[in-house]
Chain A
């Protein structure tokens, strides 16, 4: 076995600059400028309050505590006054901080919501081929975890970043005012800090990307193992599955260790630099005091401000992990948003005045990949109101015809027309509006039975009951614990394959489309039920164009015309009697079903 299931190759992302990413993120932030500026103003208030505190302490020391010119009472009173100001600043700082957190959360959530919606609707607009290339698990990760990562950045980083810059600038100004010589000496440390941070950022970014890629692999594996759990158990492949999962997991651990090492090397670096700053203050600042160029209060204030100076830097590196992982997420999100569909949509789609339902395939050739085409030079017509059955061996290209008709894919060569209009000139939603499709695979949403049938339509209770009766579901629904409101799909009531097909039938009946396309719509339904559905369908199909793919003769016979396909080509065409008389492929298929040829 060369590949694990759930395996996928994470695209090697091209190195798009951080700046470009930020610019795109800012496009989302811009509409929220009011909230953001509010948060920034609050940031100024918070910074102001926190920077004023050490200065208050300096004054307390220089003006009162070590000031031998004042008497004790005056010194004590001075300290009390400063303490009161201190208290006011504390409370203001708290209020501003709280308000800021709330505003940031609100803003961040709104932005993320917007982004999630954009991403979701963008994904839904992409063509079917895209979903063949990208496993669902990976796409879900983009919508949930990646967006979540970005949210972390919004609430805890963007304004904090501004916050920190204001704070650092403020500290430098204060230090310069107090003692410019010592302040200049301190600034010598800044290039070292920047170098450290930049180098670290590069390495950390890489490490995070590795971790994320591996995590996505683990998720994809788990996703597929979960959906295939019964197969794994049936064939006793538990141990093997666990082994492969363990390997993925182990490799994830190794990547985590790499990241831990990077962080373990760089994070203490900053603490070391902060200690160097303290040592410089003691040595050089102390010297200044000896030369009486500096007061004791100033020295203490220096020590405090340096601590305040390094605090955001330490925060910065801590928050770096958040920024790193969210930029990686942003990159993937935007990459997905930039993925454009391959199905061109007409700029000015044509609208047929009244759709009559005539379908025409004109020398259509199509293949899913570069591999050989699945349908070749296909030409046929279905007149308005006509019922056409398509028969042929599996793999003959029957379902592909439907994929093309629904415009899930465009033909490589040739044209498909609806009432004479090329499908590519129609708006896809207008086209699909006209087609009621029942697919081989019936998808059930985790929702109620009713929601699964009517979906986004508004249908009267009476009409819904008629539909359910026609789809032979009345008896089944009556026995459900909550009737139509029973939840089905994952986590809800289990449905058999046949019941699911009946549900799909009800779905199509509720759409009332001009064209009916049934792809093996009743293959899992018992014959008796099928007969009843056919009766209901016959009434529905009366004046509609219908295309039916089926194996069962009883279903095929009803068609006005039968198209027999073999390996992507039409080999026979005509009604049942004519084709039987022809004694060709169709005749053989039918005799097999009747068991007349059962000897061989």
Chain B
């Protein structure tokens, strides 16, 4: 029962796991932390001296003849001690609070280090807003716990210990009496913090939901406006906000009890001292100076006692948040690196799929089912209905999702036995969704190969048939792309993304419907450019339009996760109904395509 009241086992487990994350960081800055706490110890010891000086002054006033000069000496001593305290305070603040900020920096860097290592399955599971909250609110909570929280905790322990010692020196029995309310405080604090922890988690969750909602709404502002969704969205937001308010109130009830309660207990101790200490002074067991000094020590303990609630909250939040951060830090990418990668094949890039089967969820029907295919250097076109598995095929080829052993080979080596980086560095993949950074066009293209010469960048842009349009802009290659490339048309963005991929000059290029927003004329120019550039390379292109893949070495028709047909344009026109239908429909004279 009592154990349940203080900390439950799950919390202890969390705290232990959390400790494992922080340990190396603490070790790294151990000198700094040690010196900081030494300064803090100095502060506490010096602080305890002041009541001694006050006691001797008061006793001299009451019992022995105090003079103006002796009182001035006492006063000067107090100021001198206070000066030393101030110096020590600066030192610990600089060292320990500084440490907590360094810890924050290190953790923040580690979060991103982990994020760039993780792959698609992780990001499908975790919305960006949630991750943002991790690097924001949660990190702050950890920093607070490890900075001011830790200091307050150590300070409270040292201060309480020393104050108790001094008090016991004056009168042990009175000390025991004064401390009698403490266990009640500890018990109730434990009970309340367990509850606090639970309610705080809910508030944090709600907060990240609120963040995620505003992010997605503001990101889709054009849709919101076009569909007059302003009122409806504000309504949703209102509902979420109210929920957030409600949970905050539930949290406040616990939190609100904690602090006034500690204050009351602290004052209750004072009451006991006045009542019993007063008696002792009246009967002459202790001097009036002792009585006053005793109260001064009790005051020194008041803050640490009141801080118990606050510090526990800080630690609770810190542990909860660290646990959330930790859950990301222990994530592993779904595509695994082999323990001992085999050397990459030297010869030309022959990609072989053997009975490739893949599903995102084990329970759901597979997206791709039994695909066997040889992709030789040259041009491979992929067509198929929406949902046939074209994108998944590209993503598997580009090693974005994991494949089972012995289903995907480079030359004759299973890709699972090749180094992930090596494989990826041979593939230029142009995904369906174009993503540009808010930076200059030049920087966006050169993103794929930092340090590329201007000539090379322009060559890639020419290849992607975007060079002329770029130089017709006012600032040419130095034009800044708005957030998410707002100020460029869809086709322009696609071609910049294509140029970015082409600049890498990698032997395999996979274009997943990357020309869908490009007009026919431009598309035609790009394909023409490709013809000169292609020899010796492997190109896989998914397209809904037949025109760009007319001259492909092989065209694969996907249907329901399998290969429905394979062949050249001419062969497929004869053999495959789907291909013929789309071809006829897209060409100007229906029915004469054959």
| CA distance in complex: A345, B207 (Å) | 34
B20 proximal to A (CB < 8 A): no
Judge whether A439 and B279 touch: CB under 8 Å.
no
| CA distance in complex: A230, B501 (Å) | 13
Judge whether A272 and B264 touch: CB under 8 Å.
no
**With contact pairs A290-B66, A446-B212 given, residues A594 and B109 touching in the complex (Cβ less than 8 Å):** no
Q: 26 pairs across A/B with beta carbons < 8 Å? A: A5-B438, A6-B438, A8-B438, A61-B291, A65-B282, A80-B275, A94-B263, A106-B249, A140-B211, A225-B112, A226-B115, A230-B435, A267-B93, A271-B89, A283-B74, A286-B61, A286-B71, A369-B487, A393-B519, A394-B469, A439-B226, A490-B129, A497-B513, A528-B582, A598-B524, A598-B550
Judge whether A268 and B386 touch: CB under 8 Å.
no
B433 proximal to A (CB < 8 A): yes
Judge whether A241 and B521 touch: CB under 8 Å.
no
| CA distance in complex: A398, B518 (Å) | 12
Residue of chain B at shortest CB distance from A134: B483
**With contact pairs A79-B274, A237-B450 given, residues A136 and B291 touching in the complex (Cβ less than 8 Å):** no
Residue among A72, A263, A594 with the highest chain B CB neighbour number at 10 A: A594
B218 proximal to A (CB < 8 A): yes
Q: How far is the CB of A237 from chain B (nearest CB, A)?
A: 6
- The stretch from A14-22, A197-205, A299-307 touching chain B is A299-307
Judge whether A595 and B550 touch: CB under 8 Å.
yes
| CA distance in complex: A593, B525 (Å) | 12
Residues on the A chain within 8 Å of B217, using CB: 124, 445
Contact of B234 among A124, A215, A432, A592 (CB under 8 A): A124
| B72-104 interface bits toward A, Cβ cutoff 8 Å, 1 = contact, 0 = none | 101110110111011101100110011001101
Contact of A526 among B102, B385, B447, B491 (CB under 8 A): B385
Residues on the A chain within 8 Å of B446, using CB: 1
B141 proximal to A (CB < 8 A): no
| A126-147 interface bits toward B, Cβ cutoff 8 Å, 1 = contact, 0 = none | 0010011001110110011100
A474 proximal to B (CB < 8 A): no
- The stretch from A180-188, A244-252, A352-360 touching chain B is A244-252
Judge whether A227 and B128 touch: CB under 8 Å.
yes
Residues on the A chain within 8 Å of B119, using CB: 233
| A86-116 interface bits toward B, Cβ cutoff 8 Å, 1 = contact, 0 = none | 1100110110011001100110011011001
A223 proximal to B (CB < 8 A): yes
| CA distance in complex: A527, B439 (Å) | 36
Residues on the A chain within 8 Å of B54, using CB: 278, 282, 303
Residues on the A chain within 8 Å of B244, using CB: 113
B281 proximal to A (CB < 8 A): yes
**With contact pairs A229-B115, A511-B227, A589-B519 given, residues A287 and B89 touching in the complex (Cβ less than 8 Å):** no
Judge whether A520 and B517 touch: CB under 8 Å.
yes
**With contact pairs A236-B425, A437-B226 given, residues A268 and B58 touching in the complex (Cβ less than 8 Å):** no
A213 proximal to B (CB < 8 A): no
Judge whether B221 and A128 touch: CB under 8 Å.
yes
- The stretch from B159-167, B171-179, B250-258, B370-378 touching chain A is B250-258
**With contact pairs A554-B586, A589-B521 given, residues A94 and B528 touching in the complex (Cβ less than 8 Å):** no
B320 proximal to A (CB < 8 A): no
Judge whether B264 and A394 touch: CB under 8 Å.
no
Judge whether B518 and A551 touch: CB under 8 Å.
yes
Judge whether A429 and B228 touch: CB under 8 Å.
yes
For A, the interface residue count at a CB cutoff of 8 angstroms equals: 184
B594 proximal to A (CB < 8 A): no
Residues on the A chain within 8 Å of B105, using CB: 249-250, 252-253
In the complex, chain A residues 540-560 whose Cβ is within 8 Å of any chain B Cβ: 551-554, 557
A231 proximal to B (CB < 8 A): yes
Judge whether A395 and B491 touch: CB under 8 Å.
yes
**With contact pairs A124-B234, A280-B75 given, residues A553 and B586 touching in the complex (Cβ less than 8 Å):** yes
In the complex, chain B residues 505-539 whose Cβ is within 8 Å of any chain A Cβ: 513, 516-524, 528
B241 proximal to A (CB < 8 A): yes
Contact of B274 among A82, A240, A391, A490 (CB under 8 A): A82
Residues on the A chain within 8 Å of B578, using CB: 528
A113-B242, A282-B75 given. 7 additional CB < 8 A pairs? A3-B440, A7-B438, A222-B135, A226-B128, A286-B66, A496-B387, A553-B520
Residue of chain B at shortest CB distance from A372: B474
Judge whether B547 and A432 touch: CB under 8 Å.
no
| CA distance in complex: A155, B252 (Å) | 10
Q: How far is the CB of A243 from chain B (nearest CB, A)?
A: 10
| CA distance in complex: A271, B43 (Å) | 11
Residues on the A chain within 8 Å of B575, using CB: none
Judge whether B544 and A83 touch: CB under 8 Å.
no
A340 proximal to B (CB < 8 A): no
| CA distance in complex: A526, B545 (Å) | 8
| CA distance in complex: A511, B229 (Å) | 12
| CA distance in complex: A435, B474 (Å) | 33
B35 proximal to A (CB < 8 A): no
Q: How far is the CB of B170 from chain A (nearest CB, A)?
A: 15
B28 proximal to A (CB < 8 A): no
Judge whether A592 and B545 touch: CB under 8 Å.
no
Judge whether B264 and A57 touch: CB under 8 Å.
no
Residue of chain A at shortest CB distance from B494: A394
- The stretch from B191-199, B265-273, B339-347, B408-416 touching chain A is B265-273
| B427-464 interface bits toward A, Cβ cutoff 8 Å, 1 = contact, 0 = none | 11101110101111001001111100000000000000
Residues on the B chain within 8 Å of A525, using CB: 386, 544
B219 proximal to A (CB < 8 A): yes
**With contact pairs A65-B281, A224-B437 given, residues A526 and B227 touching in the complex (Cβ less than 8 Å):** no
| B463-497 interface bits toward A, Cβ cutoff 8 Å, 1 = contact, 0 = none | 00000010001100000101110111111100100
B205 proximal to A (CB < 8 A): no
**With contact pairs A86-B274, A267-B93 given, residues A125 and B75 touching in the complex (Cβ less than 8 Å):** no
Judge whether A260 and B97 touch: CB under 8 Å.
yes
| CA distance in complex: A6, B438 (Å) | 6
Residues on the B chain within 8 Å of A592, using CB: 520-521, 523-524, 547
| CA distance in complex: A329, B270 (Å) | 41
**With contact pairs A234-B424, A278-B50, A490-B127 given, residues A101 and B89 touching in the complex (Cβ less than 8 Å):** no
Residues on the B chain within 8 Å of A136, using CB: 215, 218-219, 483
A64 proximal to B (CB < 8 A): yes
Judge whether B214 and A528 touch: CB under 8 Å.
no
Judge whether B68 and A371 touch: CB under 8 Å.
no
B1 proximal to A (CB < 8 A): no
| CA distance in complex: A337, B513 (Å) | 42
| CA distance in complex: A61, B288 (Å) | 9
Judge whether B94 and A394 touch: CB under 8 Å.
no
| CA distance in complex: A446, B83 (Å) | 58
Q: How far is the CB of A260 from chain B (nearest CB, A)?
A: 5
